[in-house]
Structure 1
């Protein structure tokens, strides 16, 4: 098994065709076919099924894909480290789509003014993916939802934010003072992907209230959710920070939902390993930006702060 076989498999998986993969990789289709056959022979499993012009992953292919993707991410992280001369001045952060959209830009801008010349790389993923990246040294710090840690990763709660229900300003329910989920039984709900932590929280509320939305529109990123919201395509649960400008310009309306608030916890994820000075400084800066109390003693020791 070699790198070309893995990259070819991932290209076939994303393009869903051998022709598309050959275009993406800049090689001939017979080359793509040969690499896939070699990989399947080495694994002793069929990874794809051809259906007309499409290439569909088999159950074995679906399982293998997550491991191949992770292996390529770890390799890319290693190459980046070796190629980047000023390792001591590098900062690789991973955050959820919500955090990277709503909180990270301002946080990074303020830190960058304090620490000049830092090489910054930002990754976006779900909480489980981010925790894996930290374990595999693909990322150095993470911003995740919840407080359930993984082995060798410490979670430090930063803050909680409420998820509000937003609709387009011309929505029929926009004039209501208070609404219930069942008032939106015919509505389309704009949500994140299946592995999105915020979606888990929302679906938990749906189950609590025995509510089943009529339609669900799944988006990969918060920015896409906002665009669909602005187009009047449905309702979305978001923190106010995600739509601050749209609220100010009255393009969207926040609906007051009956029942208890829907709260989401954001935590700083710190891997249990040696980190460079800039990463340690950013961890401390991030904690101070959201909390007045000191870092927990065990995390201070982990960061080499005594």
Structure 2
């Protein structure tokens, strides 16, 4: 039994087609067929039923498939380990990140990471948290920074609480008073951003649980645009505090506490594949995150 047979078997099992498997492997169809037949002879069982309606796995094929997938995964991890040695520990961190995190949080993290591990190259892909989870599960990235998500195939490492605060223009009556009540906030023109994001639903739920319906004056698909609209006095907004730190320093926006409502936040976490050998760049990234957010990374 050799790796080429296993690769051919897995491709046919996933494609349910010898011709499509041959295309994926960049082989001729007779070559794929020969590899499958050789594997079947070695195992003493047919792995596929071939008929007029196409190809399907036999019971023996169904039983063999998870083991074949494990073999390919172990080989991939072995190759990755050798590549790390070949690169003299420089390595490459492939990271996924939710959009807001990548814009307002990740730059500071990567600044610390680059200072500590200057030889590790970094590439970042962005998307919504659910999209980043998909990238991790498909091995497009090695780890992801997302709002805390639970999935049986990933480890979740909580990092910090993403505090959602009320931001108003500096000349707003709430800013002059230094506080507001939720009922008052609900009557003000509220600017919401990114209907498809978790923030949108979180803010609506915040008011709904209090038995209130906010006065939504504007919806935007950009957080930066939302902040500019608030600066111009077109409304108020509830935004992650980390996204308005610069505006607070400049004095163009004011954070106003809502005195009669519980604080609103969500957990931001690092996710990576469970039960997998963690590449050295991921271990290095965890080490830096542990220093920033004061936790002890689990051993490899």
* CA–CA separation in structure 2 for the residues paired with 1:89 and 1:121: 11
Question: In 2 relative to 1, CA 224–97 (structure 1 residues): closer, same or farther, beyond 3 Å?
Answer: farther
Residue 211 of structure 1 is matched in structure 2 by 212
Residue 17 of structure 1 is matched in structure 2 by none
| Aligned counterparts, 1:6-155, within 5 A | 89-146=91-148, 148-155=149-156
1:222 deviation in Å? Answer: 3.1
* CA–CA separation in structure 2 for the residues paired with 1:196 and 1:182: 24
Secondary structure of the equivalent of 2:155? strand
Question: In 2 relative to 1, CA 100–235 (structure 1 residues): closer, same or farther, beyond 3 Å?
Answer: same
* CA–CA separation in structure 1 for the residues paired with 2:186 and 2:222: 24
Question: In 2 relative to 1, CA 138–226 (structure 1 residues): closer, same or farther, beyond 3 Å?
Answer: farther
**Count of paired positions:** 213
1:105 deviation in Å? Answer: 0.6
8 Å contact 2:97–2:144 — kept in the other structure? Answer: yes
Residue 31 of structure 2 is matched in structure 1 by none
Q: Deviations over 1:113-132 (max 9, x none)?
A: 12224332222222211111
1:134 deviation in Å? Answer: 0.8
Residue 188 of structure 1 is matched in structure 2 by 189
Q: Deviations over 1:52-109 (max 9, x none)?
A: xxxxxxxxxxxxxxxxxxxxxxxxxxxxx9xxx9796222222223322222111101
Question: In 2 relative to 1, CA 253–127 (structure 1 residues): closer, same or farther, beyond 3 Å?
Answer: same
Secondary structure of the equivalent of 2:257? strand
8 Å contact 1:163–1:239 — kept in the other structure? Answer: yes
State the TM-score, normalized to the length of structure 2. 0.63
Secondary structure of the equivalent of 1:138? coil
Question: In 2 relative to 1, CA 237–264 (structure 1 residues): closer, same or farther, beyond 3 Å?
Answer: same
* CA–CA separation in structure 1 for the residues paired with 2:191 and 2:140: 30
Secondary structure of the equivalent of 2:141? coil
Kindly indicate whether residue 193 of structure 2 is the aligned counterpart of residue 171 of structure 1.
Answer: no
1:192 deviation in Å? Answer: 3.3
Structure 2: where are the runs of 5+ without partners? 1-79, 81-85
State the TM-score, normalized to the length of structure 1. 0.62
Q: Greater CA radius of gyration, 1 or 2?
A: 2
8 Å contact 1:198–1:264 — kept in the other structure? Answer: no
Residue 268 of structure 1 is matched in structure 2 by 270
Question: In 2 relative to 1, CA 217–139 (structure 1 residues): closer, same or farther, beyond 3 Å?
Answer: farther
Structure 1: where are the runs of 5+ without partners? 1-80
Residue 72 of structure 1 is matched in structure 2 by none
Larger mean CA deviation between 270-279 and 136-145 belongs to 270-279
Residue 223 of structure 1 is matched in structure 2 by 224
